[in-house]
Amino acid sequence: MKTQKIGILGGGQLAMLLAQAAIHFPVKISAYDPDANCSARSYVASFTQGNFDDTQKIIEFGKAHDVVIFETESIDIDALKALEADGIRVVSSPETLEWIRDKGKQKEVLRDAGAPIPAFEYVAASEVRNYNGTFPVVQKWRTGGYDGYGVTIHENADSLKNAKAVDSTFEEVIEIEKEISILLARGDAGDIAIYPPIEMVFDFATNMVDYLVAPAKITQIEKEELFAIAKNLAEKLNFIGIYAIECFIDKKGQIYVNEIAPRPHNSGHHTISANLASQYEQQIRIALGLPLGSTEQLMPCVMMNLLAENATGKTKYVGLEDALAIKNVQYTFYSKEQVRPSRKMGHAVIFEKTLEKALQKMNDVRTTLTITSDE
């Protein structure tokens, strides 16, 4: 097998972890990012600084590689299509990005592929504040949202007065019991590997994943149903690559698909140590056209994001040595030189046999380690 060159569009923590996974293969990894100090920079063979909307620069970067993968969905699609037309492999496909980026279009595609999704309707920017359907209702901006930013629950018509007037979908409110992420890898030959379901527990102050539990504590029937939904989507929509399929289970045990990410996902960091092959390794394998690795989980775990405090400036870690002394915790830091309020600075995976013990240890980490600024 000859050494292949893989270019990663995006140089954040996901790219850093993709570069780490690449050590298992004869490959050379490069990254492309607007930020010269991005997380992946120190872990790649070469780095190109450029914007994600710079069509020409992305094409130039891509052409120097055999395969291009991405860690963010905001890459210029024309550039990816041009690369594909030029014989460069792009994983996942640029066509997928087109429908993923528009939350409305995404809902249509998921529904048409047979996935159970919350009832929704399109509401144009000019109509948002006049909406007179059923309340409560979830407003989602069709584009430009992330990490819960761009998602609002309106309890009544009054709250629409302050609603952002942008093209939106208005969605039925699901009474969520659990939020589950299904990580699915699919190769060129249609081979599929699915990780044990992961429960994501959100912090409603930051709207980010507070911690996750893997494997999720759900019933066998729920697990089978989630796998069937994920597999059906992967086959109908011809997924090639690693995908996160975010789902809700409601109070009655009903499953809904919320959204899809066609790339490694924040909910899969633990797979590096907890599973035989990580989500990052699967993406590299798929990029190289290799067989998929095993998704078997060796140990149950809890993963927590390590977020910056409400601070801005040069990063300072307080209590790091004490935190590192806590046993059965594996830390990963994203080498971010600057903190911003609630910025994702790293994550910790806690390996304990019982969930109670892991959650207790998570609190120990939280009270021991602070990531702030030195200003």
Q: Where on the chain is the footprint of ligand ADP (CB under 6 A)?
A: 118, 138, 140, 145-148, 150-151, 171-174, 176, 179, 202, 246, 258-259
CB of 175 to ligand ADP, least distance (A): 8
Name the β-bridge partners of 331. Answer: 348
Q: How far is the CB of 149 from ligand ADP (least distance, A)?
A: 6
- In the complex with ligand ADP, which residue's Cβ is closer, 81 or 263? 263
In the bound state, the residue with its beta carbon closest to ligand ADP is 174
Contact (CB, 8 A) for 286 and 187? yes
Q: Count other C-beta atoms under 10 Å from residue 153's C-beta.
A: 12
Pairing relation of β-strands 241-250 and 176-186? antiparallel
Whole-number Å distance between alpha carbons of 148 and 140 = 9
Decide whether 48 or 169 has the Cβ nearer to ligand ADP. Answer: 169
Among 46, 66, 50, which residue's Cα sits nearest to residue 58? 50
Helices (H), the chain: 13-21, 55-63, 77-85, 94-101, 103-112, 220-236, 271-274, 279-287, 320-324, 355-368
CB of 222 to ligand ADP, least distance (A): 18
> Which of residues 113 and 176 has its CB atom nearest to ligand ADP in the complex?
176
Look up residue 25 and give its DSSP letter: S
Pick the closest to residue 202 from 271, 147, 276, 131 (CA basis): 147
Nearer to ligand ADP, 260 or 371 (CB): 260
- Looking at the Cβ atoms of 138 and 290, the one nearer to ligand ADP is 138
Q: Taking each helix axis from N to C terminus, what angle separates 77-85 and 55-63, rounded to the nearest 10 degrees?
A: 40
Nearer to ligand ADP, 118 or 313 (CB): 118
23 phi and psi, to 5 degrees?
-65, -15
Please give the C-alpha separations between residue 160 and each of 152, 164, 287, 371, in angstroms, as whole numbers: 10, 8, 45, 37
Shortest CB 66 distance to ligand ADP, Å: 31
| CA atoms of 170 and 104, how far apart (whole Å) | 9
Smallest gap, in angstroms, from Cβ of residue 358 to ligand ADP?
22
| Least CB distance to ligand ADP at residue 82 (A) | 28
Smaller CB distance to ligand ADP: residue 136 or 341? 136
Q: Burial, 114: exposed, middle or buried (Cβ in 10 Å; 0-12, 13-18, 19+)? A: exposed
Chain position carrying tokens 């729920």: 222
326 with 349: CB under 8 angstroms? no
Structure-block tokens of residue 276: 């035989």
The residue among 260 and 288 lying less far from ligand ADP, judged by its C-beta, is: 260
If the CB atoms of residues 176 and 326 are measured against ligand ADP, the closer one turns out to be 176
Q: Each residue of 16-39: b (16+ CB within 10 Å) or e?
A: bbbbbbbeebebebbbbbeeeebb
Of 43 and 170, the one with the shorter C-beta distance to ligand ADP is 170
Shortest distance in whole angstroms from residue 65 CB to ligand ADP: 29
- Tell me how far, at minimum, the Cβ of 208 lies from ligand ADP, in Å: 8
Shortest reach from residue 135's CB to ligand ADP, in Å: 13
